[in-house]
Amino acid sequence: MTTTSGRTDWSTFDPFAPGQRDDPYPAFAALRDEAPCAHLDRYGVWLVSRYDDVTAVLRDWETFSSAQGAGLEPVGTPEEGGVILSTDPPEHTRVRRAVARDFTPKAIAALEPRVRELVRDALGPALAEGGVDWVAQVAQPVPTTVMAELMGYPDRHREEYCRWAATIFDSMGCPAGGESATLGEATGGLFGLVARIAADGEYAPDGWADRIVQAGGRGELGQSEVVSLLGGILVAAMDTTVNMLGNLAHALATHPEQWARLVERPELVPAAVEESLRFEAPVQPGFFRVTTTDTTVAGVAVPAGARVMVAFGSANRDPRRFADPDLFLVDREPNDHVSFGRGVHFCLGAPVARLIGRVVLGELVTSASGIGLAGSPARKANRMLRGFDRLPLTVRAR
């Protein structure tokens, strides 16, 4: 972006630029004040940055449609963009209903003992050694194992589908002809794999994969919807949760006074998980919608057919909604962040992610007397995710 005579020209702003990704918040603060609905000429899209506008866009699916996908470029078919994420009601309602039964509070609560076992297995060696690469040893293995077990998938495909899932997020922020794979190429790779797993019957009976395949067999879902759902749920679940856990540990390691508060009051663990989701939204800079009619956002006229990005991380730091938004406060209350979205597409897996966050942090707080950085973290280079590839920590056992 350029500045002339004290005024910033936001039309040249690039939310995907590596420097911006390192620390997105100063630019978001300026955007909220100066250009809350800014047209970004380079991408031909609008960026919405204030909390009230982001939530209004997300709630109004009739004006702000998901049918052309949630990424920067239009998807060829809803299946390509993930058949839940890239549809509007009534199709969306039908598809979401077919899987929602696996996400009831009772079904999620039943996962807790196994999640706790996995977390203890991951934390044990870290505590014994006094240090950990948090991403490699905890943040990555715990959620990906939980998801593999929920789906009923064998271990041998995990590395491949994790790779495709990360590429899919990256491609959602990549312009056509850019350096990343296109969304079509990336989903093609993942969907090919999950279709092969389904065709070979390589999934456990009564896991999520089995139930989705069975819904296809009963005619509740078409065959391409089955494959898109199998892949889409995997993508949505893994890297988002991995990054949530990385951001959570980083925030605590760099805010020792907040760690001390948590040790003193472990009942704040759920609130601390929410605060880390607000403080560093794992999905950044944001997902997209397409306007179905001429409309107005933040007083700015936006024409029909425009692509609009909702900046989750910016909304979460809006001082119009949150007091002292740049402070990380484990006892923040209320905390209605938008990291899981809002409206009909509100994250289906939020209870799973929250369970994992609470168990990881609960175990950490009761078994470690302190955590701190043990070297320089490496930020993830992904155009749609915020988190870490490497996060070396000291972890002192009690």
Residue ranges that bind ligand HEM, judged by CB under 6 A: 58, 66, 70, 84-85, 96, 233, 236-237, 240-241, 244, 282-283, 287, 339-341, 345, 347-349, 352-353
Q: How far is the CB of 308 from ligand HEM (least distance, A)?
A: 12
Q: How far is the CB of 115 from ligand HEM (least distance, A)?
A: 11
Considering beta carbons, is residue 83 or 186 the nearer one to ligand HEM?
Answer: 83
Distances (CA, A) of 85 to 92, 225, 346, 348: 8, 12, 10, 10
Q: How far is the CB of 82 from ligand HEM (least distance, A)?
A: 7
Q: Are the C-beta atoms of 57 and 297 separated by less than 8 Å? A: yes
Residue in the structure block whose two tokens are 């994992």? 356
Which tokens belong to 357?
Answer: 């966050």
Cβ neighbors of 390 (< 8 A, separation 6 or more) are: 133, 135, 136, 377, 378
Q: How far is the CB of 227 from ligand HEM (least distance, A)?
A: 14
Considering beta carbons, is residue 113 or 130 the nearer one to ligand HEM?
Answer: 113
Considering beta carbons, is residue 126 or 147 the nearer one to ligand HEM?
Answer: 147
Considering beta carbons, is residue 209 or 236 the nearer one to ligand HEM?
Answer: 236
Q: How far is the CB of 48 from ligand HEM (least distance, A)?
A: 13
Considering beta carbons, is residue 102 or 202 the nearer one to ligand HEM?
Answer: 102
Considering beta carbons, is residue 37 or 139 the nearer one to ligand HEM?
Answer: 139
Q: How far is the CB of 143 from ligand HEM (least distance, A)?
A: 7
Considering beta carbons, is residue 20 or 65 the nearer one to ligand HEM?
Answer: 65
The residue of the chain with the least Cβ separation from ligand HEM equals: 349
Distance CA 9, CA 3 (A): 6
Q: How far is the CB of 21 from ligand HEM (least distance, A)?
A: 16
